[in-house]
Structure formats: C-alpha cells, structure tokens
C-alpha cells in the first residue's frame, strides 16, 4: 500500500469515527443503485418548481411541486402534493399507455398510465424517488433521475 493510500485510509477512519454517515443516507444510496436498470434511458430533471423563484405578486400553492424530466423522445411531467404521504399526478409526453414503477429506498409502487399518458401514484413516502416508465412500443424503458420529494 502506498503512502497516499495509507493517508486516505487513516483520514477515512478518522471521519467515520467523528462524523459518521447517517444510516438513512447510506440506505438511500444503496437503494439508488439497487433500482438502476443499465438498459434504461435516463430522463434528466429539467425543471423543478421548488428551484424557480416566484415573481412578486404571484400566488402559488405552496404544497404543490412541479417536476419535469426529459429523455430522447419522452417527457415526464409530475405534480407532487401532500404533506405526510405524497400523491404524484403525472403526464407522459407524447401521450400513451405505459407501465410506471415509482421507486424509493424501502419499496416501490406500480401504476399504469392511460391512453392519454395520465397516471397517479398515491401514498408515496417523502424522500428520494425515481420513476421507471415502460411503454409497449419502446425498445428501452426510461428511468428518471432520483429526486427528493
């Protein structure tokens, strides 16, 4: 082992003792890798209403959040509502039926999008989530970035 590797190992051990990683964060990180599908197309987060400044004088529902993900040929628009458990109401663009799996560190929920591309997922726990979208006509599924809701 080189001197640099020994130094890094010593620093890692010191940090683990003085400022250990919270178990919830460790579990979420492992879950994110467990839910990955190497064949899936990644849909990146392109819009998040939580990060958009609200102009003065404009009213908004503070308990609703809008997210938009985009992959080649697919856009996923989601409204997040609820305080304790979340309700996700979504729209696929272009519209069409699909099987959708909402994933979080401790579980998942399967829902179906109708012919207009609309879907709803109820009782989703707060925390990190990712959606996997499988369309009957698509060669590959689409998976969203993980986002904390």
Residue 34 confidence (pLDDT)? 55
Residue 61 confidence (pLDDT)? 53
Positions of CATH 2.60.40 in the chain: 40-148
Parallel, antiparallel, or unpaired: how do β-strands 147-148 and 128-134 relate?
Answer: antiparallel
- Rounded CA-CA distance 73/54 in Å is 30
**3 state DSSP class of 8:** helix
CATH number for region 40-148: 2.60.40
Residue 22 confidence (pLDDT)? 81
- DSSP assignment letter at 124: E
Mean pLDDT (10-residue bins), the chain, 149 residues: 87 84 72 62 94 66 86 96 96 98 95 98 96 93 94
Task: Identify the residue whose tokens are 């010593």.
Answer: 10
Taking Cα atoms as reference points, which of 69, 103, 120, 86 lies closest to residue 111? Answer: 120
**3 state DSSP class of 27:** helix
**3 state DSSP class of 60:** coil
């Amino acid at each position: 082992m080189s001197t640099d590797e020994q130094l890094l190992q010593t620093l890692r051990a010191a940090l683990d003792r003085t400022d250990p990683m919270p178990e919830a964060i460790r579990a979420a990180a492992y879950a994110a890798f467990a839910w990955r599908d190497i064949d899936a197309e990644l849909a990146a987060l392109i819009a998040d209403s939580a990060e958009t400044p609200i102009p003065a004088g404009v009213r908004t529902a503070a308990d609703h959040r809008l997210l938009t993900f985009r992959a080649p040929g697919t856009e996923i628009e989601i409204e997040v509502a609820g305080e304790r458990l979340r309700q996700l109401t979504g729209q696929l663009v272009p519209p069409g039926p699909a099987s959708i799996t909402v994933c979080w560190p401790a579980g998942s929920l399967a829902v179906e999008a109708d012919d207009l591309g609309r879907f709803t997922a109820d009782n989703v726990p707060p925390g990190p989530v990712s959606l996997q979208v499988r369309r009957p006509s698509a060669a590959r599924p689409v998976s969203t970035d993980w986002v904390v809701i």
